[in-house]
Amino acid sequence: MNALLLAAEGEAQPPLIPYIDELVIGLIAFVIVFGFLAKKLVPNINKVLDERREAIEGGIEKAESAQIEAQSVLEQYKAQLAEARHEAARLRQEATEQGTAIIQEMKAEGQRQREEIVAAGHAQIQADRKAAAASLRQDVGKLATDLAGKLVGESLTDTARQSRTIDRFLDELEEKAEAVR
């Protein structure tokens, strides 16, 4: 109204001062738009923001729980790996000990067999020596009595005397051989 009066008077209204009726209509329109935004749009925006915040927080919680679970699985894996390494070391140690024991047993068995073979060889040599000595005594005795009978001119057929004479002669030869050594 003031503007009408001023227009009627012929004076122009300054450009920076709004007309009162425009100011009232603008204020009413602003209150209507603000009320509409406050009643309809802001609750929807808040609802969407709350849902996003919950989704983000739920995602963070899920990520934290997944990280905790992954950490526990990693610790279990490390524990199992350490246990497997310990078991492998124990098995290697047992295998080494068993190998050493087997080697010792084989050495002892080889030593025992060698000693048996050497003892059997010595026994065989002693038996062969005794058999050869007995055979040699008989042969030498027979030859000596035959030779003595030819030298004397009569037969020395008494076997007991022949045997004593041969034994005494061979014993004397053995004593002389041992004295020389």
Per-residue pLDDT reduced to its tens digit, 124-159? 999 988 888 778 777 777 777 777 667 655 566 666
- On average, the pLDDT of the chain sits at 83
* Residue pLDDT, tens place only, 23-70: 899 999 999 999 988 898 888 889 999 999 988 888 888 888 889 999
Q: Is 109 exposed, middle or buried, given 0-12, 13-18 or 19+ CB atoms closer than 10 A?
A: exposed
Between 169 and 49, whose confidence is greater?
49
Please identify which residue in the block is written with the tokens 């492998």: 88
- What's the pLDDT band for 167 if we cut at 50, 70, 90? confident
- Give the C-alpha separation, 169 to 173, whole Å: 6
Check residues 121 and 9 and name the one with the higher pLDDT: 121
Cα distance between residue 137 and residue 141, in whole Å: 6
Give the per-residue pLDDT at 96: 94
User: Would you give the end-to-end CA distance of the chain in angstroms?
Assistant: 166
